[in-house]
Amino acid sequence: MQPIQLHLLPTSRIHEGTPRKVFNYANESRLLNYIYFTNKGKDSNDFKEKYPKLRSFLGNNILFNYYNKSLINNLSLVKSYVKKNNITIIHCYFPKDNLLCFILKYFLNIVIIRHFEGIYSSPKKIHRFAEELSFKKTDYFIYISKYVKLVKQKDFPVLLKKPSSTISNGVLRREEKNKIYFFRKKYNFLTISSFQPTKNLILLLDIINYLKISLDEDFVFHILGKTNTAYFKTFSKLMYRRKLENYIKVWGCVEEVYNFIHGCDLYLHPAHEEGFGIAIVEAMLEAQTVLVSNKGGPREYIENGKTGFILKHDDAEIWATTIIKLINNEELKINIGKNAQVSARAKFPFDEFVNSIDKIAIKLKK
- Residues 101-151: tens digit of each pLDDT: 889 998 999 999 999 999 887 778 888 888 888 999 999 999 999 999 999
* 142: β partners: 115, 165
Distance between CA atoms of residues 222 and 224, nearest Å: 7
Q: Where in the chain is the domain with CATH 3.40.50.2000?
A: 4-170+349-364, 187-347
At residue 329, the pLDDT reads 96
Which residues touch 27 (CB under 8 Å, ≥6 apart)? 57, 58, 59, 62
Cβ-based neighbour number of residue 133 at 10 Å: 13
CA gap 89, 363 in Å, rounded? 11
Show Cβ contacts of residue 209 under 8 Å, excluding neighbours closer than 6 positions.
242, 244, 316
Report the candidate in 273, 365, 265, 275 with the shortest Cα–Cα distance to residue 323.
265
Q: Is the dihedral of CA 175, 178, 181, 182 positive or negative?
A: negative
Strand partners, 30: none
Contacts of residue 272, Cβ cutoff 8 Å, sequence gap at least 6: 198, 200, 293, 295, 296, 313, 314
pLDDT tens digits, one per residue of 236-277: 999 999 999 999 999 998 878 888 998 899 999 999 999 999
Cβ count within 10 A of residue 138: 22
Counting as low any pLDDT under 50, the low residues of the chain are: 41-42, 60
248 - beta bridge partners? Answer: 221
Determine how β-strand 164-166 pairs with β-strand 89-92. Answer: unpaired
CATH topology for 187-347 is: Rossmann fold (3.40.50)
CATH of range 4-170+349-364; options 3.40.50.2000, 3.40.50.300, 1.10.3720.10, 3.40.50.10090:
3.40.50.2000
Question: What pLDDT does 275 receive?
Answer: 94
31/364 Cα distance (integer angstroms) = 14
Query: What b-and-e string marks burial along 264-301, b requiring 16 or more CB atoms within 10 Å of the CB?
Result: bbbbbbbbbbbbbbbbbbbbbbbbbbbbbbbbbbbbeb
Phi and psi dihedrals of 150, rounded to 5? Answer: -60, -45
The answer to whether 111 touches 89, Cβ cutoff 8 Å, is yes
Distance CA 289, CA 309 (A): 8
Distance (Å, whole) CA 215 – CA 82 = 57
